[in-house]
Amino acid sequence: MAVIPRFGAIILCGGQSRRMGFSKALLPFGKETMIENAIHILDQIASEIVVVASPDQILPEITSEIRIVRDPIAYQGPLTGMQSGLRHISDQIDSVFITATDSPLLHPELILQLFKQSETYDLIMPFDGKYYYPLTSVYKVKPVLEKVEQLIREDRHRPFFLMEELHSKTIHVNELKEFDPYLDSFRNINTPVDYRNILRISSMTIPEEFHAPAVNVEFYGVPRLITKVANATLEAENLVELISELSRNFPELKGPVIVNETLHPAYRFMRGTSEFLMDLQTPLVANDKILILAVDAGG
C-alpha cells in the first residue's frame, strides 16, 4: 500500500489505561508493543506520524522519523491530545487519521477509504448505529485545530462537538465492510478481556501475566449433545469472557445456546451444584467448575 501524500496520522497514547491496569501502549502484541504495532500499520499509508504521549509516559524506542510530543498535563482527555498532535504535525499535511494505541487491528484499506470520502469535509467519522468513533476518524488539520482550540477554551471537551460544529460527514460502519470485513479496525482494548479476545482472534499467544483463570466448563443436555464433549477447560475472568470463549471454541453453540453474545434464557450457568450465576460479571476463579444446564431441569 502506497503512502498518501499530504496525509498524516496522530496516535494518542497518553490515556490512563485505568480498566486495563497496564499501559496500553506497552502491551505486547505479537513481537511488538501496541504502540509499535500502530506505527507499523500507519506507516504504510501516512507520510507523517505524530505520537502524543503523557508527560512521563514510558515508551519503547521509536524510530527518529516519528515525532513524539508530550501533553503538558497528563490525562486531559482526547481533545487535548488531538490539540498537541495537530499543533505538531508539519505544514505539508492537510488531513490526518487520528487513533489511539488501543486498536491493534486497524486496516489501512479502511483508513484509505475514510480519507477518500473525506475530500470536501472537515472530518469524517464512522458510526455503528449506537456509537461514534472519533478515534478512528479522518480530520482536516487546519479547521479542526481551530475548532479544538476553541472548544478547549470554552471547556467543552467532547470530540463529538467537532462533529456537530464542523462541516462533517458520518459514515455507517457497514459501508466499510468491503475494506474490513469483520470491522476489526473498530475493536479496541479497554480491559484484559478485550485484550485477550483480540489476541485470540489474531491467533497470538496471551502473555503469561495476562492469562485469565482456567475454569472447567461442564456441558449437560443439549449443550453436550451439540459440543459432543463432556467438558472443556477455558480461560475466562468472568462469564462474559467465558461466553465469548465458548463461541470461539464451539461455534455450533451459537444459535441454540448462545444468542447475542449471551446465554439463551433456556440455559444457565452454575458454579458447582449450589451457586447459580445470574450476573455475567461474576468473577471466575481458577479451577472453578462451571456447569451449563437447561433451566428446565427435571420433569
Partner 1 sequence: MIPGYHGKYLRLDLSNKIMDFPEIGSDIYSQVIGGVGLGVWILTRETPAGYDPLSPDAALVFALSPLVGTPLTTSAKFAVIAKSPLTNRICDAMCSSHFAMAAKKVGVDAICIKGKLEEPSILFIDGTGDEPIRFSLSTAAPYLGDTAAETERKIRLESGTDWQIISIGLAGEMQIPFATLSHDGRHAGRGGLGAVLGSKNIKAIAVRGDKRTNMANPNETMKIARSLSERSFTPATAKYRELGTVANLLVFNRFESLPTRNFQEGSFLEVESLTQHDLAPARKIAKNSCAACTIGCEHIYSLKSDKGENTKGVRMEYESLFALGPLCGISDPEMVLKASALCDEFGLDTISTGGTIAFLMECLDKRFIPQGSDLNITPKFGDGESVLSLIHDMMSPNPSEIAQLLKLGSRNAAHQIGQNSIAFAQQVKGLEMPGYHPRKLHAMALGMAVGSRGADHNRTGAYEVDFSEHDRSAHSVALAVIETEDKAAIMDSLILCKFIRGVFQDFFQESAEMLSAVTGSCYTKDLLIESAKLIVRMRKAFNQREGWSPEEDALPESIFAQDSKEESYLTKTRLEDLIKHYNAGRGFSDDGWLSDLQMQCISRLGSDHSTK
Contact residues for partner 1, defined by CB under 8 A: 218, 220-222, 224-225, 256-257, 264-267, 273-274, 276, 278, 291, 293-299
State the amino acid at position 192 in one-letter form: P
| Residue 42, number of CB atoms within 10 A of its CB | 23
Q: What is the spatial distance between Cα 71 and Cα 57, in angstroms, rounded to a whole number?
A: 10
Phi, psi of 9 (to 5 degrees): -140, 145
Q: What is the spatial distance between Cα 48 and Cα 7, in angstroms, rounded to a whole number?
A: 7
Q: Closest approach of Cβ 278 to partner 1, in Å? A: 6
Round to the nearest angstrom and report the end-to-end CA distance of the chain.
62
| Residue 239, number of CB atoms within 10 A of its CB | 23
Q: Closest approach of Cβ 236 to partner 1, in Å? A: 21
Element (DSSP H or E) covering residue 171? strand 168-172
Tell me whether residue 73 or residue 229 sits nearer to partner 1 (CB atom): 229
| Residue 230, number of CB atoms within 10 A of its CB | 10
State the amino acid at position 39 in one-letter form: I
Q: What is the spatial distance between Cα 136 and Cα 140, in angstroms, rounded to a whole number?
A: 14
Report the candidate in 185, 189, 178 with the shortest Cα–Cα distance to residue 138. Answer: 185
Cβ(38)–Cβ(111) below 8 Å: no
| Residue 143, number of CB atoms within 10 A of its CB | 15
Cβ(145)–Cβ(83) below 8 Å: yes
Phi, psi of 265 (to 5 degrees): -60, -10
Residues sharing a CB contact under 8 Å with residue 254, sequence separation 6 or more, in sequence order: 247
- CA 5: distance to chain centroid? 27
Q: Closest approach of Cβ 243 to partner 1, in Å? A: 15
